[in-house]
Structure 1
């Protein structure tokens, strides 16, 4: 079996308001990923600025912060072999119009600014750890064995 990896995922305010938390969690569970942390929360300005810090100089930064703080989010940490790449594949492209049907954004997103979900970038090695650390304390993340693990991995 490959070594497990953890990845950060967040249902954004539009996904929460549209009642998509359960559907999104189910998709990741059905894929075989293991939920090791979850938190329903309201992001404040400080956390939003820290989370989107790499976009601070871009013209859309203020809109990002305003949107992500506009309502509750559901932050999660998922674990599994190659979890970050698996999740990104399931999430789809940032622009829902470019996302394939069957992906979360392809099925539920209509607008670039309202694309339902955030997932750590598999091409940025530090993104996962940074985002997990921003949203979760170590004691909020659980280690346990899924009873179906032998059926998921060789």
Structure 2
């Protein structure tokens, strides 16, 4: 299996997991903050899209979020508590699906040479190494969604 196909497969698994965890959760429920700190489901899914945008850019594809939306969900942004600031969860799930489709297409069209390329001579990682790191990061956050789903009052076993 090529590196691109392996990455596509891992992202596809995450897509399924994230979509299942967000199923039937309202925007209001998605804004429940963990009592011991951290961020809410809405922020985690938006944050995943921010990092998929990084992956898309590294493959020469068009990102999903605009600059204002990226500010809401980027690393080290303030905890998301204001419903007026948050994107509706249904919108995030739609954007997640769009990012998934773009990422799958970009990976299908990538070459081994493109994945082995270092975008900047000062850069330590190749495009492929960067994508593997982004995929790991996404999996890390996808794992948080089960607990955040429980916080939203959804307790059925999904996977």
TM-score by length of structure 2 reads 0.28
- Larger C-alpha radius of gyration, 1 or 2? 2
Bigger fraction of residues in strand: 1
Q: Which one has a larger percent helix, Structure 1 or Structure 2?
A: 2
